[in-house]
Amino acid sequence: MCNVGRGAVRWSFLLCSEYSWPHHVSPPLASYIPRMPASNMNQLLLSPRLFVIGILAFSLLSIHSVLHRPQQIPFQGILRHDSNHTVRNSATGFKAISKNLEAVHNSTLGFQKIFVINLPERTDKLDTFSVVSSLTGFAVEVIKGVKGRDVQNKSLPALEGLPTAEAGRNNIVGCWRAHMNFAQTIVTNGLSSALVLEDDADWDVTIKDQLRAFASGSQFVTAVPKGHKPHSPYGDDWDLLWLGHCASTIMPDHDRRWVIENDATVPDPKHRVNFAGIPDMAASGYDNSTRVVYRASDGVCLYAYALSFRGACKVLRGQALRKTFTPIDVGIGQLCKEKEFKCISVFPQLIDSHKAAGRMSRDSDIGRFSPSEVRQKGFTYNIVHSMRLNMDRLLTGENATIVRQWPDDPIIDGPLRQRPMGKRTE
Ligand SMILES: *[C@@H]1O[C@H](CO)[C@@H](O)[C@H](O)[C@H]1NC(C)=O
Ligand SMILES: *[C@@H]1O[C@H](CO)[C@@H](O)[C@H](O)[C@H]1NC(C)=O
Ligand SMILES: *[C@@H]1O[C@H](CO)[C@@H](O)[C@H](O)[C@H]1NC(C)=O
Ligand SMILES: *[C@@H]1O[C@H](CO)[C@@H](O)[C@H](O)[C@H]1NC(C)=O
Ligand SMILES: *[C@@H]1O[C@H](CO)[C@@H](O)[C@H](O)[C@H]1NC(C)=O
Ligand nearest to the CA of 102: 2
Of 379, 409, 390, 418, which is closest to residue 263 (Cα–Cα)? 418
- For the chain, give every domain's residue range: 45-421
* pLDDT higher than threshold 80 for residue 261: yes
pLDDT tens track for 24-36:
222 222 223 323 2
What pLDDT sits at residue 88?
A: 34
Write out pLDDT tens, residues 54-73: 222 333 223 332 222 222 22
How buried is 393 (Cβ within 10 angstroms: 0-12 exposed, 13-18 middle, 19+ buried)?
middle
**CA nearest ligand 3 atom 7, residue:** 164
**Ligand 1 atom nearest residue 83's Cα:** 13
Tell me if 270 CB under 6 Å of ligand 4.
yes
Task: Give nearest CA residue, ligand 3 atom 6.
Answer: 164
Which of 82, 83, 85 has most ligand 1 atoms within 8 Å of CB, for mutation? Answer: 83
Element (H, E) at 193: strand 193-198
C-alpha to C-alpha distance for 306 and 397, rounded to whole angstroms: 33
The alpha carbon of 82 and the centre of ligand 5 are apart by a number of angstroms equal to: 26
More confident site: 25 or 310: 310
Ligand 2 pocket, residues with Cβ under 6 angstroms: 103, 106-108, 110, 112, 232-233
Using only C-alpha atoms, the chain has a radius of gyration, in whole angstroms, of 20
Separation of CA 267 and ligand 4 centre (Å): 11
Nearest-CA residue for atom 8 of ligand 2: 112
Residue 40 has what pLDDT? 27
Prediction pTM value: 0.79
Q: Which atom of ligand 5 is nearest to the CA of 398?
A: 13
- Work out which ligand 2 atom sits closest to the CA atom of 107: 13
DSSP character at residue 239: S
Q: What is the mean pLDDT of residues 246-267?
A: 93
Distance 238 CA to ligand 2 centre (A): 17
pLDDT (tens digit per residue) in 114-146? 999 999 999 999 999 999 999 999 999 999 999
Omega cis (within 30) before 34: no
| 43 Cα–ligand 5 center, Å | 36
Q: How confident is the model at residue 20 (pLDDT cuts 50, 70, 90)?
A: very low
- Percentage of the chain surpassing pLDDT 90? 60
What 3-state class would DSSP assign to 305? strand
Ligand found nearest the CA of 194? 2
Q: What amino acid occupies position 148?
A: G
Give the alpha-carbon dihedral of 261, 267, 273, 279, to 10 degrees.
20
CB 215 within 8 A of CB 110: yes
C-alpha–C-alpha distance, residues 141 and 107, integer Å: 12
Ligand 5, CB cutoff 6 Å, lining residues: 56, 72, 398-399
DSSP string, 343-393: EEEEES-SEEEEE-SEEGGGG-SS--S-TT-EESS-EETT-TTBHHHHHHH
Lowest mean pLDDT among 68-77, 183-192, 282-291: 68-77
Determine the distance separating the centroid of ligand 1 and the alpha carbon of 61, expressed in angstroms.
29
The finding on whether 409 has its CB within 6 A of some atom of ligand 4 is: no
Best substitution site from 81, 84, 87 to test ligand 1's pocket, by max atoms within 8 Å of Cβ?
A: 84
How much distance in Å is there from the Cα of 186 to the middle of ligand 4? 43
Model confidence pLDDT, tens digit, residues 326-353: 999 999 999 999 999 999 999 999 999 9
Between CA 87 and CA 418 the distance in angstroms is 7
Helices (H), 246-341: 309-320, 328-336
* pLDDT of res. 94: 57
Nearest ligand to the C-alpha atom of residue 45: 4
Each residue of 368-410: pLDDT tens digit?
667 778 898 999 999 999 999 999 988 886 667 788 999 999 9
C-beta separation of 41 from 24 below 8 A: no
Ligand 4 site, residue 163, Cβ cutoff 6 A: no
Ligand 5 atom index nearest CA of 399: 1
Give the H or E element holding residue 66. Answer: strand 62-68
Atom of ligand 2 nearest to the CA of 231: 5
Note the pLDDT of residue 97. Answer: 67
Q: What is the pLDDT of residue 99?
A: 64
Q: What is the pLDDT of residues 191-214, one digit of tens each?
A: 999 999 999 999 999 999 999 999
pLDDT of residue 263: 95
> Which ligand has the minimum distance to the alpha carbon of residue 170?
3
Name the residue of 44, 287, 288, 384 to mutate for ligand 4: max ligand atoms within 8 A of Cβ.
288
Run of H or E residues at 402: strand 401-402
Q: Rounded to the nearest whole angstrom, what is the distance from the C-alpha of residue 416 to the centroid of ligand 4?
A: 19
For 263, the 3-state DSSP assignment is: coil
CA–CA–CA angle 289, 239, 261 (5° rounding):
10
- For 144-187, how does the pLDDT look when each residue is reduced to its tens digit (9 = 90+)? 999 999 999 999 999 999 999 999 999 999 999 999 999 999 99
